[in-house]
Amino acid sequence: MKALKQFKTTLKEIKHEKVKPKFCPICNSPKLDRLLMTGILPSIYVCRECGYKGVLTVELEKSPKE
């Protein structure tokens, strides 16, 4: 039953990740469009500001200190 517990935790983490704001790693714009929503593979994001396309995004988990 350990595996099931771990699976549930993973689901929780994925759900939590969706709530985090995502920003473009190039121009830091929050205007990101999600291109793919497979639920298994990482989503691909497209930046509406600079045209960046990729799975990498900047996530803000805590308040910026700068």
**Interface residues toward Zn ion, by CB under 5 A:** 24, 26-27, 29, 47, 49-50, 52
Residue 42 vs 51, nearer CB to Zn ion: 51
Smallest separation (angstroms) from Zn ion to the CB of 23: 8
Q: How do beta strands 32-34 and 45-47 pair?
A: antiparallel
Smallest separation (angstroms) from Zn ion to the CB of 27: 4
- Of 63, 42, 64, give the one whose Cα is nearest residue 53: 42
Smallest separation (angstroms) from Zn ion to the CB of 41: 21
Q: What are phi and psi of 12, to 5 degrees?
A: -60, -45
Residue 44 vs 52, nearer CB to Zn ion: 52
Token pair belonging to 48: 């509406």
